[in-house]
Amino acid sequence: MNASQSAGALHPANEALTRNERIVFNLYTISALLVFVLMMLLGLTMRMAQSNWAGVLPNVFYQIMTAHGAGMVGTIGLATSAVMWFFLRKYVKLSLSIFLANYVLFMLGAVALLAAVFIGGYAGAWTFLYPLPQHPMGLWSGNAAALFMLGYLLIGVGFLLFYLDVMRAIIRMYSNLGRALGLQWLFSGDIDKSHPKTVVASTMVAITNSIGILAGAIVLVMCLINIYFPSVALNALLVKNLTYLFGHMFINASIYMGVIAVYELLPRYSGRPYPISRPFLWSWAASLVMVLIVYPHHLMMDYVMPHWMLVMGQIISYCAGLPVFTVTVFGALANIYRSGMRWNMPSRLLVLSMFGWAAGIVPAIIDGTISVNKLMHNTQWVPGHFHFYLLLGVLPMVLALMFHVIGQNAPSRSSDKLSFPLYILGGLIFVFSFLAAGHISTPRRYAVHLPQWLLYDQFGSIGAILLIVAMLVFALHIVVGLLRSPGNGDSAHATG
């Protein structure tokens, strides 16, 4: 072991959590883990229902589906914002109160969402695609739909506050957002090698996701007005555009926040420097633009869309893969190649996250082709690819930070030797059963399945069970570790 791999370098002093920071970080982490497990159980319930292994009434199925979607998207956003906060606070001065406010607003929003779904019966899917929430055919009330939207607004306000604080702090330190993104080095000049990748990524996310959340807020307000004043009809196509701009942006922001864990932690475990470079800056600058204009790939089957926008959706989908494949994943692989990598839970999860992102993006990009989308749109191909990079990409980024913080840097314990491969195995069975079902045209979001689809559902259920068992072991370790940890993060010897 060389010096750079010692515990001190793994847990630098400027990353230590103060007492208050630790309380808030633990709130985020433990809540996120709890909700992840609960939402996974809801997901399993849906797959079991489709398998004919569990009797679930269609109205309950669609309530579960709505809760699972909203819960997972929100929680992955919450968990990855904790990743971003954890590293960004080393470079700029963030407000802990605002970070806490985001948590409180999130929890209030979550209560509203759950009440709307499980008490109010709202089952308009997490995308609340206009005018379905207003058109429940008697299954839920206008108030239930409004409560759901109010929950989203609360969560959105929390995130917006957090991002505004991030931008304020970044501007204070780097004088403007362009310099924080490193735009001054795009074409020429000596790049300041100490400029943190975390700052570049955080700036990009704060800008783009604020725009995404604003688009979402506009739709929510429009829909709220429409619920109580139905005569104010909305343009369904315009609302769809704004909804998918928001939805696409929010879920992508979680990847861009989560990947900060890879930038920060990977070089510590590989022991090899992972410096900033011009292609890195280009890739983030390009992603900033692309992530905002790629959303029409969700509207390829809306033939009345301006066709240039659909062409843009396809081309930008392809282009968006370039930064991933040629900069982030390639850079991560070059960082660990013959590095003398030390394998333990954080480092394994980091490598898994790169695999999940890179492999999961393959079916996604292919589906971003209009002629393919004609056959795959809204089949289980879609949950197949996004579960691939969320479950095997983004969640491992979050888990890597959690295992890092609890100081599990020693070679794995025996339970990890079992749970880590189990997570991958279960995850792969789960996502491939979606993709395989999509390949034979199984629709997504169906409470009841035809006989020829059942085998895929059953494999999916088994994969989900394996994955959830592994996730429970992870969650237990992390929660115990967090509650026992002294909080400065430098506990490698305590638990190692």
Partner 1 sequence: MILQNQIWLLTLTGIGLVSLVFIWIIVQAGKPADSAQVQKTAHTIRRWWFLALVLLGVGVAYATLKPFPIADQNASSPAGQIVDVVGRQWSWTLSQNQIKAGVPVQFNVTSLDVNHGFAIYGPNDLIVTQTQAMPGFTNRLHYTFTQPGKYRVMCLEYCGVAHHGMVTEFEVVGGQP
Q: By CB under 8 A, how many residues form the interface with partner 1? A: 79
Nearer Cβ to partner 1, position 102 or 134? 134
Is position 440 an interface residue for partner 1 (rule: CB under 8 A)?
yes
Q: Considering only residues 149-208, where is the footprint of partner 1 by CB under 8 A?
A: none
Nearest distance, CB of residue 347 and partner 1, angstroms: 9
Nearer Cβ to partner 1, position 118 or 330? 330
Is position 362 an interface residue for partner 1 (rule: CB under 8 A)?
yes
Is position 415 an interface residue for partner 1 (rule: CB under 8 A)?
no
Nearer Cβ to partner 1, position 72 or 98? 72
Is position 330 an interface residue for partner 1 (rule: CB under 8 A)?
yes
Nearest distance, CB of residue 157 and partner 1, angstroms: 27
Among 104, 417, 452, 484, binds partner 1 (CB under 8 A): 452
The Cβ of residue 445 has, within 10 Å, a number of other Cβ atoms equal to 14
Residue 275: both structure tokens together: 């410096």
Q: Which residues of 7-19 are buried (b: 16+ CB within 10 A; e: fewer)?
A: eeebbeeebebee
Is position 54 an interface residue for partner 1 (rule: CB under 8 A)?
no
Is position 52 an interface residue for partner 1 (rule: CB under 8 A)?
no
Nearer Cβ to partner 1, position 34 or 333? 333
Is position 369 an interface residue for partner 1 (rule: CB under 8 A)?
yes
Nearest-angstrom CA–CA distance, 447 and 434: 15
Nearest distance, CB of residue 377 and partner 1, angstroms: 6
Q: At what angle do helices 395-405 and 236-270 cross, to 10 degrees?
A: 40
Among 103, 174, 263, 355, binds partner 1 (CB under 8 A): 355
Candidate segments 25-33, 218-226, 370-378, 402-410, binder of partner 1 by CB under 8 A? 370-378
Contact 396, 363 (CB under 8 A): no
Is position 326 an interface residue for partner 1 (rule: CB under 8 A)?
yes
Is position 443 an interface residue for partner 1 (rule: CB under 8 A)?
yes
Is position 351 an interface residue for partner 1 (rule: CB under 8 A)?
yes
Among 7, 214, 319, 473, binds partner 1 (CB under 8 A): 319
Is position 290 an interface residue for partner 1 (rule: CB under 8 A)?
no
Q: Considering only residues 228-287, where is the footprint of partner 1 by CB under 8 A?
A: 235-237, 240, 270, 272-273, 279
Among 83, 260, 376, 398, binds partner 1 (CB under 8 A): 376
- Name the one residue in this structure whose structure tokens are 């604003």: 214
Nearest distance, CB of residue 58 and partner 1, angstroms: 5
Nearest distance, CB of residue 32 and partner 1, angstroms: 26
Nearer Cβ to partner 1, position 184 or 326? 326
Candidate segments 200-208, 329-337, 408-416, 481-489, binder of partner 1 by CB under 8 A? 329-337
Q: Vertex 322, ends 362 and 380: CA angle to 5°?
A: 25
Among 9, 12, 228, 337, binds partner 1 (CB under 8 A): 337
Nearer Cβ to partner 1, position 63 or 75? 63
Nearer Cβ to partner 1, position 225 or 311? 311
Nearer Cβ to partner 1, position 234 or 469? 234
Site string for partner 1, 104-133 (x = CB under 8 A): -------------------xxx---x-xx-
Is position 9 an interface residue for partner 1 (rule: CB under 8 A)?
no
CA 396 vs CA 215, 430, 440: distances in Å: 29, 16, 29
Candidate segments 389-397, 408-416, 417-425, 447-455, binder of partner 1 by CB under 8 A? 447-455
